[in-house]
């Protein structure tokens, strides 16, 4: 009799424990639409990238991932919106290498990307192209740098706005090569392209997607790329490193983050889904058409990437004496 009672008691305790565990188990994620805040306007490379990925996340996880564009200097508007959405996994945001630049560039950045957000995964990486007018006499980057050496201050380099990733790439280029170049900032890539075609500027630094029409129309030529190795999107274009400057590396990236405090199981769910998505052939092809190499990373790898880029661009900004914004 005692044995029977004991077995029944143990069974009851086991059932109670099971019910308690179920009651405290994390609910399935996601159970409703997820908002993804993007610190850029519609139609740009970052926007197209996140829309490709969000479409796939919707298919894979069974809920809509809705992209909301909130452009603004330093990504401040988007970051604030993401942080105000709560740490429940239903408001995510895109951070980029531009975010890493904003940390040392802004005197008072009202958010800390390392302390206020948790990394989920990188989405892709891409290089900048060094582009000249198709009719330019410069066939190689060495040709361009030789004139910069022979006639200091005679060559103008175009990028979009001061403080942009493209601008900082030009600053690092001048620091690594020692070339005496004049930086000319423009409000937009089309404006910079016009200056290049008029020979008001002799070199333009921008993403492949931004200058794609000029390349396809054979109005401009790419003479170098900014990454540590040739881009699979343009394998015939040599890197700056191949011109003899081993220390030069500008690799841009975009990635998905969540507000600090987002439950780890949600981060893990999103990371696994993104790792799978970014290995799909059609996703890789669509991103490569934009000049982006699909790349998923662990949260730890992404955290290290962000930290490293903040340190790198702080050193570049301080050495160049760029005033804080």
DSSP string covering 179-197, please? ---EEEEESSHHHHHHHHH
Torsion of CA 278, 30, 116, 76, to 10 degrees: 80
96 to 14, 150, 204, 302, 303: CA distances (angstroms): 49, 37, 21, 11, 12
Tell me whether the CATH fold assigned to 34-126+252-320 matches the one assigned to 128-243.
yes
Is the CATH number of domain 34-126+252-320 3.40.190.150?
A: yes
Is the CATH number of domain 128-243 3.40.190.10?
A: yes
Phi, psi of 22 (to 5 degrees): -65, -40
pLDDT of residue 73: 73
Residue 102's contacts (CB-CB under 8 Å, 6 or more residues apart) are 74, 75, 109
pLDDT of residue 44: 85
**Every domain of the chain and the residues it spans:** 34-126+252-320, 128-243
Q: Is-contact 192 204, C-beta < 8 A? A: yes
Alpha-carbon distance of 249 to 270, in angstroms, equals 29
Two tokens at 129? 């192209």
Write down the residue that tokens 């983050």 correspond to.
Answer: 257
> pTM for the complete prediction?
0.88
pLDDT of residue 300: 98
Two tokens at 80? 């604030």
- Cα-to-chain-centroid distance, residue 309: 11
288 to 76, 124, 214, 218, 321: CA distances (angstroms): 28, 9, 18, 20, 35
- Divide the 325 residues of the chain into consecutive groups of 10 and give the mean pLDDT of each group: 46 44 63 96 90 97 97 87 96 96 94 97 97 97 97 97 94 96 95 97 96 96 97 95 94 97 98 98 96 97 98 97 91
pLDDT of residue 25: 52
Of 118, 122, 138, nearest to 130 by C-alpha is 138
Report the b/e string of 237-270 with b at 16+ CB within 10 A. bbbbbbbebeebbbbbbbbbbbbeebeeebbebb
Torsion of CA 14, 20, 23, 27, to 10 degrees: -70
pLDDT of residue 72: 81
Alpha-carbon distance of 325 to 315, in angstroms, equals 16
């Amino acid at each position: 009799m005692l044995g029977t009672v004991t077995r029944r008691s143990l069974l009851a305790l086991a059932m109670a424990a099971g019910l308690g565990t179920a009651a405290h188990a994390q609910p399935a994620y996601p159970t409703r639409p997820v908002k993804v805040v993007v610190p850029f306007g519609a139609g740009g490379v970052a926007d197209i990238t996140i829309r490709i990925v969000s479409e796939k996340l919707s298919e894979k996880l069974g809920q809509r991932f809705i992209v909301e564009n909130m452009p603004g200097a330093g990504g401040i508007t988007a970051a604030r919106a993401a942080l105000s959405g709560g740490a429940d996994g239903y408001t995510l945001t895109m951070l980029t290498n531009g975010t890493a630049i904003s940390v040392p560039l802004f005197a008072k950045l009202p958010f800390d990307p390392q302390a206020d957000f948790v990394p989920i995964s990188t989405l892709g990486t891409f290089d900048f192209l060094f582009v000249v007018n198709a009719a330019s006499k410069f066939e190689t980057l060495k040709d361009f740098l030789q004139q910069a050496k022979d006639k200091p201050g005679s060559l103008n380099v175009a990028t979009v706005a001061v403080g942009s990733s493209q601008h900082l790439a030009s600053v690092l280029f001048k620091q690594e090569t020692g070339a005496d170049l004049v930086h000319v900032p423009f409000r937009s890539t089309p404006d910079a392209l016009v200056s290049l075609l008029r020979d008001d500027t002799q070199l333009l630094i921008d993403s492949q997607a931004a200058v794609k029409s000029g390349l396809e129309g054979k109005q401009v030529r790419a003479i170098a790329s900014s990454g540590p190795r040739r881009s699979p999107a343009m394998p015939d274009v040599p890197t700056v490193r191949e011109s003899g400057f081993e220390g030069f590396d500008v690799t841009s990236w975009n990635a998905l983050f969540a507000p600090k405090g987002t439950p780890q199981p949600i981060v893990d769910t999103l990371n696994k889904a993104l790792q799978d998505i970014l290995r799909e052939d059609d996703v890789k092809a669509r991103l490569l058409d934009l000049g982006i190499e699909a790349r998923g990373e662990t949260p730890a790898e992404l955290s290290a990437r962000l930290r490293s880029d903040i340190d790198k661009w702080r050193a570049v900004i301080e050495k160049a004496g760029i005033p804080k914004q």
